[in-house]
DNA sequence: TTTGACATATAAATTATTTTTATTATAACA
DNA sequence: TGTTATAATAAAAATAATTTATATGTCAAA
């Protein structure tokens, strides 16, 4: 069976018009008809119910089933190509979200340098979500990721590195600044300054506000720790982060005394289907050793 | 790209002789040569280093990388076919790890037979971990799974069936055989015989050894309850399982008196996104009724 | 060092598969 | 009822995969 037929099929379930799909792939319209026929013969099932008219085209249950697998197959194929490209250039691509990078990379870099491996790595700094996507697409060989709940994806391998608590950061001038520790619900009427989308702290924050029936007032989101800390120190709002972030003199870090607080979990993550060659394995072992 | 080429390639990495692979697929030897050439061109990388002689054939790093994905692709393709067949023939695929099967399947089978539904099910016997993966990948419609902690996964629906304790199994000749109950830490110097990877008891065992600061000596892992019980009865080592396993005359089951002992939880599990058609729903209701 | 056995590669021919061109069929709708 | 947009079909053409026949490379025994 040809992957091209699957690509036609996937596109057909999206565009829903044979001739438009043909255009998309720069082939003639009957090509799509024949491709679908081949698939239906191979699967021995009707995949699509055709309406000859500018109207709907219905994907059957069997079609939906095939669709899921077709997408997975195409993805595998593309990831394989990408991985092989990485192998050829003898590099290992590592995703390191900024907060985690701050905490772990200095030590990692030092160890890698000692082994003369530092120039075999390429690092990518995005939020955890984007990093995970990049890993799944094969763009990255490896990632250090933050998560709250243990990660739940059959395709990825996860090694837990560390679990650390979240804290609330407030200005020294803030009315809570003198408490040793607080409850999350004490923050009911605060203004918050948080990270942008795709950072793990947000998911944890969302869980806590939901649990406490709060509708938090988020006045700003930024990607820059410095920027956020600056605003907090000026008492513009309060922050909610793990202990990896460094904070200035006039900011206070408050413990949260709630039970069952979510933890910030750092994970070493890679695709189960990823093949590490000797050099990559060496780098992986080195990193593993550096952070444990 | 053709999946046939991938099949040739996978076989070639196993059999390692072009002409033998050709024989296997009932094609001529150059077919294999050309298939490999096509793949190498597509991936733009050498996949296999040939030795023209009856000797070794080396899979390159790129080849190994492709191999992993190739196997996944072929598997997806086969699962897709299987799923569609199931849809067409009105079958429901059920995952039943062996230990759970022993306990629940006789009753389930009896009820299903009464309703004339027994030939609408196909069962799969793997460890809990593999079963869960298979469920998530859509290979299974439904599973009865063991877990320690209640399962928490956004994508799956869980109905708890039962919670039962774990026990220690020892030979009658064993020095602990006369105790009514023991503490887990009493097992500090024992040799253990356990199940292989992917069974729930192992996770529970790991937690307990960690909690008690133990470094257990696991002398054997097996998938066969009979085999394990045989060894225990010969006083080769001790076992740690739930009460679903049956045990011979000369083996003794010991209670564990520790606080907060993990429990073996049996769950009925399916994907939230799964669509059960009428017949499948009937089977599900029947199973639910049988085990509660 | 030669020769035979085994294994893979290559060239050309053959066969199979996919795509195109040209045309027909079908439904909706103006 | 004719027009338009769309899919299906048939036959031819193009492309791709496989085979047959043969060449080439490598090892090991003579």
**pLDDT one-digit tens code per residue, A67-81:** 988 998 998 999 899
Which chain B residues are Cβ-neighbours of A68 within 8 angstroms?
Answer: 80, 138
B34 nearest nucleotide via C1' and CA:
D17
pLDDT recorded at residue B197: 65
Whole-angstrom Cα distance, residue A235 to residue A212?
Answer: 24
Q: Closest to A84 (Cβ–Cβ): which among B45, B137, B152? A: B45
A275 CB-near residues (< 8 Å, 6+ apart): A83, B61, B64, B65, B67, B68
pLDDT recorded at residue B41: 95
Residue to substitute from A7, A77, A85, A136, interface B, most B β-carbons within 10 A = A77
Residue A100 pLDDT grade (very low, low, confident, very high; cuts 50, 70, 90):
confident
Residue A245 pLDDT grade (very low, low, confident, very high; cuts 50, 70, 90):
confident
**Is any atom of nucleic acid chain D found less than 7 Å from the CB of residue B53?**
yes
pLDDT recorded at residue A25: 95
Q: What is the DSSP string of chain B?
A: -BHHHHHHHHHHHHH--HHHHHHHTTS-HHHHHHHHHHHHHHHTS--EE--SSSS--EEPHHHHHHHHHHHHHHHHHHHHHHHHHHHHHT-EEEE--HHHHHHHHHHHHHHHHHTT-GGGEEEE---HHHHHHHHHTTS-SEEEEEESSPP--TTEEEEEEEEE-EEEEEETTSTTTT-SEE-GGGGTT-EEEEE-TT-HHHHHHHHHHHHTT---EEEEEES-HHHHHHHHHTTS-BEEEETTS---TTEEEEEE--TT---EEEEEEEETTPPP-HHHHHHHHHHHHHH-
pLDDT in tens, A178-189: 998 899 999 999
- Which SS3 state, helix, strand or coil, does residue A219 take? strand
CB A216 within 8 A of CB A135: no
Which chain B residues are Cβ-neighbours of A65 within 8 angstroms?
Answer: 80, 83-84, 87, 138
For B47, which residue in chain A has the nearest alpha carbon? A84
- Per-residue pLDDT at A197 exceeds 70: no
A4 nearest nucleotide via C1' and CA:
C18
**Is any atom of nucleic acid chain D found less than 7 Å from the CB of residue A248?**
no
Measured CA distances, A177 to A239, A252, A258, B104, B248 (Å):
13, 6, 18, 58, 66
Residue A99 pLDDT grade (very low, low, confident, very high; cuts 50, 70, 90):
confident
Answer whether 0.75 is exceeded by the pTM: no
For B42, which residue in chain A has the nearest alpha carbon? A81
Q: Which residue is nearest to nucleotide D10 (CA to C1')?
A: A30
Residue that is written with structure tokens 């998309």 in the block? A24
- Which SS3 state, helix, strand or coil, does residue A116 take? coil
Query: Looking at A46-50, A118-122, A147-151, which range is the least confident one?
Result: A147-151
pLDDT recorded at residue A227: 83
pLDDT recorded at residue B152: 65
pLDDT recorded at residue B137: 74
Which chain B residues are Cβ-neighbours of A73 within 8 angstroms?
Answer: 73, 76-77
List % helix, strand, coil for chain A (3-state, nearest 5). Answer: 45, 25, 30
Which chain A residues are Cβ-neighbours of B79 within 8 angstroms?
Answer: 69
Pairing of strands A121-124, A92-95: parallel
Residue B66 and residue A88: Cβ atoms within 8 Å? Answer: no
For B77, which residue in chain A has the nearest alpha carbon? A69
User: Averaged in consecutive runs of 10 residues, what is the pLDDT profile of chain B (292 residues)?
Assistant: 95 92 94 96 92 73 92 89 86 87 87 90 83 82 83 77 90 92 93 80 86 89 82 91 85 91 89 78 91 81
Q: Closest to B62 (Cβ–Cβ): which among A3, A79, A87? A: A87
Tell me the sheet residues that pair with A147: A265
Provide mean pLDDT across the span A253-282. Answer: 89
Q: Kindly report the nearest CA distance between residue B183 and chain A, in angstroms.
A: 28
Which chain B residues are Cβ-neighbours of A61 within 8 angstroms?
Answer: 87, 275, 277
Residue B43 and residue A84: Cβ atoms within 8 Å? Answer: yes
Whole-angstrom Cα distance, residue A228 to residue B290?
Answer: 57
Q: Closest to A84 (Cβ–Cβ): which among B66, B154, B275? A: B66
Q: How many beta-carbon pairs under 8 angstroms link A with B?
A: 94
Residue A3 and residue B1: Cβ atoms within 8 Å? Answer: yes
What value does the mean pLDDT of chain A take?
A: 88
What is the distance in angstroms between the CA of the first residue and the CA of the last residue of chain B?
50
pLDDT recorded at residue B52: 56
Percentage of residues in chain A having pLDDT higher than 70: 96
What is the dihedral angle through the alpha carbons of B109, B114, B115, B116, rounded to the nearest 10 degrees? 80
- Per-residue pLDDT at A137 exceeds 80: no
Pair of tokens at residue B214: 């133990």
Which chain B residues are Cβ-neighbours of A45 within 8 angstroms?
Answer: 84, 87-88
Higher-confidence residue of A259 and B21: namely B21
Distance B54 CA to C4 C1' (A): 14
Interface of A with B (CB under 8 A): 1-4, 43-45, 61-62, 65-66, 68-70, 72-73, 76-77, 79-81, 83-84, 87-88, 149, 152, 154, 273-275, 277
Q: Kindly report the nearest CA distance between residue A169 and chain B, in angstroms.
A: 31
């Amino acid at each position: 069976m040809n992957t091209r037929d699957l690509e036609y099929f996937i596109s057909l379930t999206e565009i829903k018009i044979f001739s438009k799909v043909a255009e998309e792939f720069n082939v003639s319209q009957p090509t799509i008809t024949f491709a679908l026929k081949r698939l239906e013969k191979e699967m021995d099932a009707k995949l699509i119910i055709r309406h000859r008219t500018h109207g709907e085209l219905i994907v059957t249950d069997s079609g939906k089933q095939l669709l899921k697998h077709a997408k997975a197959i195409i993805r595998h194929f593309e990831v394989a190509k990408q991985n092989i490209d990485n192998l050829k250039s003898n590099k290992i691509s590592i995703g390191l979200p900024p907060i985690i990078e701050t905490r772990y990379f200095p030590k990692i870099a030092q160890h890698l340098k000692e082994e003369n491996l530092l120039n075999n790595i390429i690092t990518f700094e995005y939020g955890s979500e984007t990093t995970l996507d990049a890993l799944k697409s094969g763009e990255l060989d490896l990632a250090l990721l933050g998560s709250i709940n243990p990660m739940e994806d059959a395709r990825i391998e996860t090694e837990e590195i560390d679990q650390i608590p979240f804290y609330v950061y407030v200005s020294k001038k803030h009315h809570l600044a003198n408490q040793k520790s607080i409850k999350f619900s004490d923050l009911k009427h605060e203004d918050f300054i948080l990270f942008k989308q795709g950072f793990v702290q947000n998911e944890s924050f969302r869980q806590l506000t939901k649990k406490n029936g709060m509708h938090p007032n988020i006045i700003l989101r930024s990607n820059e720790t410095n920027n956020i800390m600056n605003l907090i120190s000026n008492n513009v709002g309060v922050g909610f982060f793990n202990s990896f972030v460094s904070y200035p003199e006039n900011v206070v870090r408050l413990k949260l005394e709630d039970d069952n607080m979510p933890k910030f979990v750092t994970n070493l993550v890679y695709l189960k289907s990823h093949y590490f060659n000797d050099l990559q394995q060496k780098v992986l072992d080195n990193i593993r050793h550096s952070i444990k």
